[in-house]
Amino acid sequence: MKVLVIGGGAREHALCRSLSLDPDVTALYCAPGNAGIAEVAELREVDALDGDAVAALATELGAELVVVGPEAPLVAGVADAVRAAGVPVFGPSREAALLEGSKAFAKDVMAAAGVPTARSYVCTTPEEVDDALDAFGAPYVVKDDGLAAGKGVVVTEDREAAREHARGCDRVVIEEYLDGPEVSLFAITDGVTVLPLQPAQDFKRALDGDEGPNTGGMGAYSPLPWADPKLVDEVMATVLQPTVDELRHRGTPFSGLLYAGLAITGRGVRVIEFNARFGDPETQVVLARLRTPLAGVLLNAANGTLDLQAPLNWHDDAAVTVVVASANYPGTPRTGDPIEGLDEVAAEDGPEAYVLHAGTRREGDRVVSAGGRVLSVTATGSDLAQARERAYKAVGRIRLAGSQHRTDIAAKAAEGR
Ligand code: AMP
Ligand code: GLY
pLDDT at site 151: 63
The phi-psi region of residue 327 (left if phi > 0; otherwise alpha if psi is between -120 and 50; otherwise beta) is: beta
The boundaries of every CATH 3.30.470.20 domain in the chain are 181-308
Would you call 207 exposed, middle or buried from its count of C-beta atoms within 10 A (0-12, 13-18, 19+)? middle
Name the closest-CA residue to atom 4, ligand 2.
279
Q: Per residue in 89-121, pLDDT tens?
A: 999 999 999 999 888 899 999 999 999 999 999
Q: Which CATH superfamily is 318-414 part of?
A: Phosphoribosylglycinamide synthetase, C-terminal domain (3.90.600.10)
Residues 121-175: name the CATH superfamily. Answer: ATP-grasp fold, A domain (3.30.1490.20)
Which ranges of 208-289 does DSSP label H, i.e. alpha helix? 231-235, 241-249, 282-289
Does ligand 2 come within 6 angstroms of the Cβ of 9?
Answer: no
Distance CA 138, CA 285 (A): 34
What's the gap in Å between 196 CA and the centre of ligand 1?
22
pLDDT at 150: 58
Nearest ligand to residue 218 Cα: 2
Q: How many CB atoms lie within 10 A of CB 157?
A: 10
Condensed to tens digits (0 to 9), the pLDDT of residues 393-410 reads 999 999 999 999 999 999
204 vs 187: CA distance, rounded Å: 20
Please state the separation of Cα 75 from the chain's center in Å.
15
Helix (H) or strand (E) holding 80: helix 78-84
**Using 50, 70 and 90 to split pLDDT, how confident is the model at 417?**
confident
Dihedrals phi, psi of 188, to nearest 5 degrees: -95, 135
> Residue 177: nearest ligand to its CA?
1
Q: Nearest Cα to 121, choosing from 104, 105, 146, 97? A: 104
Residue 317 in contact with ligand 2 by CB distance below 6 A? no
Residue 271 reports pLDDT greater than 90? yes
Ligand closest to Cα of 71 equals 2
Is residue 152's pLDDT more than 90?
Answer: no
pLDDT digits (tens, 9 = 90+) for 3-34: 999 999 999 999 999 999 999 999 999 999 99
Tell me where in the chain the CATH 3.40.50.20 domain(s) lie: 2-93
Q: Assign domain 181-308 to its CATH architecture.
A: 2-Layer Sandwich (3.30)
Query: What does the pLDDT read at residue 147?
Result: 76
DSSP characters over 163-175? HHHHHTSSSEEEE
For domain 2-93, the CATH class is alpha beta
Quote the ligand 1 centre to 283 CA distance (angstroms).
19
Give 196-254 pLDDT, tens digit per residue: 999 999 999 999 999 998 899 999 999 999 999 999 999 999 999 999 999 999 999 99
- Asked if the model's pLDDT at residue 148 lies above 80, the reply is no
User: What b/e sequence results for 236-261 when a residue is b if at least 16 CB atoms lie within 10 Å of its CB, and e otherwise?
Assistant: bebbbbbbbbbbbeeebbbbbbbbbb
pTM for the whole structure: 0.95
| C-alpha of residue 365 to centroid of ligand 2, in Å | 31
Is 215's C-beta closer than 6 angstroms to any atom of ligand 2?
Answer: no
pLDDT surpasses 90 at 168: no
Count other C-beta atoms under 10 Å from residue 398's C-beta.
Answer: 20
Residue with more model confidence, 168 or 124: 124
pLDDT of residue 149: 64
Tell me the CA distances in angstroms from 167 to 131, 150, 335, one per residue in order.
Answer: 14, 18, 30
CA of 218 to the centre of ligand 2 (A): 10
The band of 330, judged by pLDDT with boundaries at 50, 70 and 90, is very high
Residue ranges lining ligand 1, Cβ < 6 Å: 118, 141, 143, 150, 153, 155, 175-178, 182, 204, 214, 261, 272-273
Q: How confident is the prediction for the chain on average, in pLDDT? A: 96
pLDDT at residue 68 is higher than 90? yes
Please name the residue whose Cα sits nearest to atom 12 of ligand 1.
204
Ligand 2 centroid to 186 CA: how many Å?
11
- CA-closest candidate to residue 80, choices 248, 258, 256, 299: 256
Q: Are 266 and 55 in contact (CB under 8 A)?
A: no
